[in-house]
């Protein structure tokens, strides 16, 4: 497990974007070889998406041969609702890059048969050859995707009832009106994300500090589902200083001492431009 600690949110977002960019380019994607990327929503990844759009607009990065699978979607929210995760992904990322819409997979929270939709999503991931890099964020209660506290650590894509903490956290997107916040969602399981060849989890802000502590300094625990990634062979936690406030000084010092190694993963930043 790697813990990458940057000074602030913007630098953490940039490091994550550089890492994704380098992984895609080093993979050498093509017509018969797609890079498969798992993607999150929420406020944390926005800075990362902005940097990836910037790399694309500069001609350094193409998503033509990238397939994406999103972590989750609300149940019962119209697809074109401004707070649906379909809307979020298209407005904040997809419409600004050259991805083929057929290669951007998002769960349908309005499907007639929700379990069949979840099973089909798992099948699509398998048919794509599995996920090369799954990027995720976490909630203050340590949940990844909508795998709320108490979720099975071997769970697959399924229908989940949202915890009150999550509903409260999401109320800000619905004018603070709890009655407008969806109470159910379709989500990839912890096991689904664990199957990815690599996992990168973005954690920023002091309100996520206790969750980061639970994720890396304590044992694996289904009440803090992000802790499962201690057992993944290729996990990178990318965080800012504020998110480390609950960690032991010794832990922070240890991982900061490895930053010269971690920075080699993003420096130099590769480019798809000829000759680079």
Q: Point out the residues that are catalytic.
A: 72, 141, 143, 148
* Half-sphere exposure for 89 (CA within 13 Å, toward CB): 22
The pair of structure tokens assigned to 38 is 């798992």
User: 């480390």: which residue's tokens?
Assistant: 244
What are the start-end ranges of the E strands in the chain? 2-6, 35-39, 66-70, 72-74, 104-105, 133-137, 158-161, 184-187, 198-203, 235-240
Question: Which residue, 141, 132, 80, 140, is CA-closest to 106?
Answer: 80
For residue 251, CA distances in Å to 7, 123, 153, 207, 258 come to: 16, 39, 25, 19, 11
Could you tell me how far CA 233 lies from the centroid of its own chain? 17
């Amino acid at each position: 497990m790697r813990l990458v600690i940057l000074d602030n949110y913007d630098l953490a977002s940039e490091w994550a974007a550089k890492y994704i960019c380098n992984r895609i380019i080093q993979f050498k994607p093509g017509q018969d070889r797609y890079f498969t990327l798992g993607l999150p929503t929420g406020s944390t990844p926005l800075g990362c998406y902005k940097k990836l759009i910037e790399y694309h607009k500069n001609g350094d990065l193409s998503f033509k041969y990238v397939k994406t699978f999103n972590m989750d979607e609300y149940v019962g929210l119209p697809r074109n609702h401004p707070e649906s995760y379909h809307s979020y992904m298209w407005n904040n990322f997809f419409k600004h890059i050259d991805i083929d819409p057929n290669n951007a997979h998002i769960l349908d929270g309005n499907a007639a048969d929700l379990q069949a939709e979840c099973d089909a999503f798992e099948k699509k991931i398998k048919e794509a050859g599995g996920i090369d890099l799954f990027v995720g964020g976490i909630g203050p209660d340590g949940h990844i995707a909508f795998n709320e506290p108490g979720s099975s650590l071997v769970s697959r894509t399924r229908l989940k009832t949202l915890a009150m903490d999550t509903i409260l956290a999401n109320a800000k997107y619905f004018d603070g009106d709890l009655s407008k916040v969806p109470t159910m969602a379709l989500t990839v399981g912890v096991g689904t994300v664990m199957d990815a060849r690599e996992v990168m989890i973005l954690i920023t802000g002091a309100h996520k500090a206790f969750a980061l502590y639970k994720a890396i300094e304590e044992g694996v625990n289904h009440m803090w589902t992000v802790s499962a990634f201690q057992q993944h062979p290729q996990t990178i936690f990318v965080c800012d200083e504020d998110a480390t406030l609950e960690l032991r000084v010794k832990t922070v010092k240890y991982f900061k001492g490895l930053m010269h190694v971690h920075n080699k993963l993003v420096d130099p930043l590769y480019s798809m431009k000829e000759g680079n």
